[in-house]
Structure 1
């Protein structure tokens, strides 16, 4: 036994450095890890229904992560439209003079952004910081409302208790701006909404480190005249989509699981509640498939994650010939821009099998 122990000690080795060349498995592992970190951390799903369980929520997030891997341009285009809906909601709220001190309203989205910027960063013009912003409707409030956080129950259900017959309806931000006189909307500050948001900063930090490492590696190898793999180039395209998607959703709360039920005021009746049932959005997936929208998901108590701004029929016809949703134009442009990143590999060498065997 002593001889065996001495043999093991003689064969033991210390620290061994990695080889001076990148291995194929290291490139694959790094690229896959970066793609998964990007696609998982950028998910900002809407508030689920009160009837959704743990597995339903988990499968829904996995579904959108898979969709982000297969169609990253889809999620990026949707994030852009979510931003436009947020600005539109801000304008509607300010025009309705709800939770805002700006009683002059907003003429367009440019003024909305300027007004919001002055409130968000008052030091930019040397203005005094307004600490009490509880009554100010910000872009975060707009995102928060468009997620379907605020739900209203039928006045009939509160009387006879038939909640299953009249389910809770999730309101959009524009619906809140339209019917704010008929509901008791809670006053929430931007900080209170941020506290409800459960952003996964650890996952985002990992994704940031992975993206920075990948970008730095590609830059350094290009500067030294070294090649990099096609998989790394694809990962770079995913990273670009992830970064722009996250920037567009910078002020959107993340992982908000609980909805807030708002009560109808005394003057509101069942007729007002029926008007609130009207669908105030289009569906991205239906626009891609070019099929008419439906409203069955309204009764599930949540807003679908692929919701889009609703466009009137007269705006859906292009030159009186083609009926198409404007989201498809944005999706096409973004797909072309993201696809152009693959042109970086234009001068890559792709030898045939015969050429490889000869070499």
Structure 2
């Protein structure tokens, strides 16, 4: 809700709309209009560009946790739609959630000498014990860290539906929309309220993507890891007070 309050105040007080309450209604509906090539935009151009960016910021940018294998495709779709709705209503919640996962992944990386990708993979429930239970809690990790280290990074990356290039392009897409809006402001060209809201979405989307850059995307099946009591005893001795 804080996000939408910010967008409302920005659209109303920043002067980007140059005193017009609804520039979207004044947008030309045909390609031929009495204006320059740089400033002439049709209603379809504005709406399509904004909706495509909002979709990329909410649907494509989401990095969900590993779902229950028993869930069917319909429940998986509802699960993602619910998360998409949360992102639209309160995107700052997703930013906080992504930041929390990044902090946790860094802690795992430092504590157990692994990269951030296995740390994220643990946070999303990507590792599963031989008994069929997810290995996602901090107190579980010491007993499974040897098995996790034996897993190749290629196996984890193979589970992800996005690579470095695709994530980089997605970030560039959000930055491109932000650049376009800033260019119009610098040229004293108006922005519609829809574009102001989309601009805020694009900025938050770039932040979310950067926080989740090392997080595997849309993993559907976990990786089974074995348990080691030796590691658990060693970790307890290491962390116990002397």
Q: Does TM-score exceed 0.5, indicating one fold?
A: yes
Distance across 2 between alignment mates of 1:203 and 1:180: 30
Partner of 1:178: 142
Write out aligned runs for 1:8-19 (5 A).
18-19=32-33
Which region of structure 1 is more displaced relative to structure 2, 62-71 or 256-265? Answer: 256-265
Q: Gapped runs of 5+ residues in structure 2?
A: 1-29, 233-242
Structure 1 residues 202 and 247, CA, compared in 2 at 3 Å: closer, same or farther?
Answer: closer
Distance across 2 between alignment mates of 1:206 and 1:249: 12
Partner of 1:55: 74
Q: Residue 121 of structure 2: which of 140, 144, 149 is its match?
A: 144
SS at match of 1:256: coil
Distance across 1 between alignment mates of 2:198 and 2:31: 27
Distance across 2 between alignment mates of 1:141 and 1:151: 13
Residue pair 2:181, 2:199 contacting (<8 A) in 1 also: no
Residue pair 2:178, 2:203 contacting (<8 A) in 1 also: no
Tell me by how many angstroms 1:77 deviates: 0.8
Distance across 2 between alignment mates of 1:263 and 1:180: 6
Which whole-Å deviations, capped at 9, do the CAs of 1:35-78 have from their partners, x for residues lacking one? Answer: 11111121111111121111122221121112111111110111
Distance across 2 between alignment mates of 1:42 and 1:172: 22
Write out aligned runs for 1:2-41 (5 A).
18-19=32-33, 20=35, 21-41=40-60
Residue pair 1:41, 1:204 contacting (<8 A) in 2 also: no
TM-score by length of 1: 0.49
Indicate whether 1:254 and 2:185 are aligned.
no
Indicate whether 1:91 and 2:54 are aligned.
no
Distance across 1 between alignment mates of 2:67 and 2:96: 22
Distance across 2 between alignment mates of 1:184 and 1:217: 48
Tell me by how many angstroms 1:216 deviates: 3.1
Distance across 1 between alignment mates of 2:143 and 2:43: 59
Structure 1 residues 173 and 189, CA, compared in 2 at 3 Å: closer, same or farther?
Answer: farther
Distance across 2 between alignment mates of 1:207 and 1:38: 10
Residue pair 2:175, 2:202 contacting (<8 A) in 1 also: no
Aligned residues: 196
SS at match of 2:65: coil
Residue pair 2:99, 2:211 contacting (<8 A) in 1 also: yes
SS at match of 1:179: helix
Residue pair 2:31, 2:42 contacting (<8 A) in 1 also: no
Larger Rg, first or second structure (1 or 2): 1
Which structure has more relative contact order (CA 8 Å, sep 6+)? It is 2
Partner of 1:336: none
Distance across 2 between alignment mates of 1:46 and 1:232: 31
Q: Residue 84 of structure 2: which of 59, 65, 88 is its match?
A: 65
Structure 1 residues 224 and 264, CA, compared in 2 at 3 Å: closer, same or farther?
Answer: closer
Tell me by how many angstroms 1:138 deviates: 0.6
Q: Gapped runs of 5+ residues in structure 1?
A: 1-15, 95-136, 155-167, 273-359
Residue pair 1:41, 1:207 contacting (<8 A) in 2 also: no
SS at match of 2:220: coil
SS at match of 1:151: strand
Residue pair 1:138, 1:190 contacting (<8 A) in 2 also: no
Residue pair 1:76, 1:245 contacting (<8 A) in 2 also: yes
Residue pair 2:178, 2:202 contacting (<8 A) in 1 also: no
Which whole-Å deviations, capped at 9, do the CAs of 1:262-311 have from their partners, x for residues lacking one? Answer: 3446x79xxx9xxxxxxxxxxxxxxxxxxxxxxxxxxxxxxxxxxxxxxx
Structure with greater helix percent: 2
